[in-house]
Structure 1
Amino acid sequence: MKNEKNIKKLKEMVEAVRICMFNTVNAKGEMGSRPMATAKIEDDGGIWFFTNEYSPKSKEISKENNVLLAYSDPSNNTYVTVRGKAAFIDDREKKKELWSPFVKAWFPDGVDDPNLILLKVDADEVEYWDSSASKLVVLFSTLKAIVTGDQPDVGEHDKIKI
């Protein structure tokens, strides 16, 4: 039951943002990051993306599949990081299921594009900061904390296992 609740929380926060900074590690051990659009989050917490099978990112993942996804929604004061393992999935039916017109800009030949492959991240741990308060309320709480020396109340922060 707890895991279902954790995945529901993940889906709520990420589906509102959709775009993440997808972080990988190259052969030299250096971090690389690029924006990627989330295609879908499964009920088991798996996060799907479309990608080019021959991109530098794909080469990095082939050697080191631990990745970090960073989602940010400043307008709603919501921030999420997802740690997990990435895997390539070449499944035509899944591509058709997840396909959207937006993806066609990168893969004009559709699901039959020879460079197109799915990338699935199985989430291990999620850390989030979520404040439903307005920016003005967060600012007031921060200013109050400066004056009183207390910690500001800027919302909910937690780590959850998937």
Structure 2
Amino acid sequence: MAEKTLEEIAAAMKGIDIAMLTTVTEDGSLASRPMSNNGDVDFDGDSYYFTYEESRMVADIEEEPAVTLGFAGDDGFYVAVSGDADLIRDKEEFEAHWNPDLDKWFEDGIDTPNIVMIKVEADRLKWWKGEEAGEFTDF
């Protein structure tokens, strides 16, 4: 295992906007979908994503909060994160993680009806780049 700090891994993650968010469905199947970090990529063990209340992933998380995130950089840098997801419906929390790029998906900003923020709290992060690899479990 290579020795890199979480800060070094977070810096490398800044260039990766899209993560594949995987949830467990009601029948135990896995469901994945691309989610944008929307520029909120100062990774410290927590990740934030916005979606609509009626989405399947919200229903999945309400039943089973265990999720995974997969990131793939153009330079052969890969990250897998596992943890638990929380659903946040507080507008003050939305403001802390809002980016103007989100306005194209949520036209009324944080006042968009039925918006919800997903907070993923990591319990494990594994990364790879070429023959180097490492893991974090202490956030």
Runs of 4+ with >3 A deviation:
41-44
Which AA in structure 1 matches 2:85? A
Alpha-carbon spacing, 1:10–1:47, altered in 2? closer, same or farther (3 Å): farther
Which AA in structure 2 matches 1:14? M
Normalized per residue, the structure richer in helix is: 1
> Is the contact between residue 127 and residue 135 of structure 2 (CA under 8 Å) also seen in structure 1?
yes
> Is the contact between residue 23 and residue 32 of structure 1 (CA under 8 Å) also seen in structure 2?
yes
Aligned to 1:54: 54
What is the CA–CA distance in structure 2 between the aligned matches of 1:33 and 1:6, rounded to whole Å? 28
What is the CA–CA distance in structure 2 between the aligned matches of 1:13 and 1:88, rounded to whole Å? 27
Task: Give % identity.
Answer: 32
Which AA in structure 2 matches 1:113? T
Find the structure with the greater CA-based Rg: 1
TM-score by structure 1 length?
0.75
Alpha-carbon deviation of 1:18?
1.9
Instruction: Write the mapping of 1:73-152 to structure 2, written as runs, cut at 5 A.
Output: 73=73, 75-130=74-129
Q: Which runs of 5+ in 1 are unaligned?
A: 131-153
1:155 and 2:131 aligned: yes
Aligned to 2:70: 70
> Is the contact between residue 54 and residue 114 of structure 2 (CA under 8 Å) also seen in structure 1?
yes
Alpha-carbon deviation of 1:56?
0.7
Q: Indicate the RMSD between aligned Cα atoms, in angstroms.
A: 1.7
Alpha-carbon deviation of 1:118?
1.1
RCO comparison, higher one (Cα < 8 Å, 6+)? 2
Which AA in structure 1 matches 2:86? A
Aligned to 1:29: 28
- Find the residue that maps to 2:26 and give its secondary structure: coil
> Is the contact between residue 78 and residue 128 of structure 2 (CA under 8 Å) also seen in structure 1?
yes
What is the CA–CA distance in structure 2 between the aligned matches of 1:63 and 1:16, rounded to whole Å? 32
What is the CA–CA distance in structure 2 between the aligned matches of 1:79 and 1:43, rounded to whole Å? 14
Matched residues, number: 134
Q: Which runs of 5+ in 2 are unaligned?
A: none
> Is the contact between residue 124 and residue 136 of structure 2 (CA under 8 Å) also seen in structure 1?
yes
